[in-house]
Amino acid sequence: MFDDVAPKYDVVNDVLSMGQTRRWRKIVVDAMEVSKGQRVLDLAAGTGTSSEPYADAGIDVVACDFSLGMLKVGKRRRPDIDFIAGDATNLPFADNTFDATTISFGLRNVNEPKKALAEMLRVTKPGGRLVIAEFSQPVVPLWRTMYTEYLMRALPAIAVKVASNPDAYVYLAESIRAWPDQDHLAAWLQESGWEKVTYRNLTGGIVAVHRAFKPASPSNGAAAIAAHKGPVAKLRRNIVR
C-alpha cells in the first residue's frame, strides 16, 4: 500500500493537512535538539522529507522505513541521506547507536507499537531522547466532532482526486480514529522504560508531539517501569526546551 502512494505521498500530505505538515515537522526538529556530531534515527521516514532538516544542518541522519517504494523515491531525491529498510519492531541496528530517535506519523501503522517503543529504547544511547509526532485526539469536544467528520467524509473524497491510491487514505482515516489518545501513548512510553515523558498538543490536539528520554543507567529504567501504575494523569504537557 505504501509503495503505491510513494510518488505523490508528500504532495498529498500537504493537501490533506492544509499545509500543516511543514509546521508540525519543524516543531519535531526543534524538540529533538540535536547538533552536528550527533547521529539521528528517523523511523517511518518514508521518502525522507522528515530527515532532510537534519541532513541540511550537517547532522548524521539515517532514514529507516519498511517500504522499499518510499525509500527508492527518497534516495532519488536525496542521495546524500542514508536510507535503510527496516522493521520498527526489529531494528537492524546495534544497541546504543543513536543520540536521538524520532518517528512522525508512523507509529500507529506498526502492528506492535509497544514493541517498537522498546526497540527505539534499545538503539538509543543512554540519556538520549525520543520524539514522536502522531495524530491524536482533539481536546475540545466540538473540534473533535468536526475533525472526525473531516476524517471519515472529506479526507477520502479529497484523496480520490489527488492520490494515486485513494484506498490508502481511507485506511489513514480509520487508523487515526482508532489510535489511542495523548495520555495513553504517554503511558506506553513509560511502560517501555522511557522517562521524563511530556507532550505538546498541536492544532487543538489533532497532532501531539511526545518527547521522552532513555535513562542514563539501566537501573533507572527498571525503576521507571516498576513505578508506573495505570494511566498517566500528571504529565507535564508542554515540551520544555
Annotated binding site for S-adenosyl-L-methionine: 47, 65, 87-88, 104
Task: Tell me if 100 sits within 8 A of 56, measured CB to CB.
Answer: no
Radius of gyration of the chain (CA): 17
Helix boundaries (H) for the chain: 2-5, 9-16, 20-32, 52-56, 68-77, 113-123, 141-149, 155-162, 166-178, 182-191, 218-227
Looking only at the bridges linking them, the beta strands covering 98-104 and 60-65 are unpaired
d(C-alpha 215, C-alpha 193), whole Å: 8
Name residues whose C-beta falls within 8 Å of residue 227's C-beta, 6 or more positions apart in sequence.
none
**What letter does residue 108 receive in the DSSP assignment?**
G
The long-range contacts involving 90-94, CB below 8 angstroms and separated by at least 24 positions, are: 90/119, 91/43, 91/64, 91/119, 91/120, 91/122, 91/123, 93/41, 93/62, 93/123, 94/123
Annotated binding-site residue numbers: 47, 65, 87-88, 104
CA 134 to chain centre: 5
Cα torsion at 173, 106, 213, 216 (round to 10°)? 150
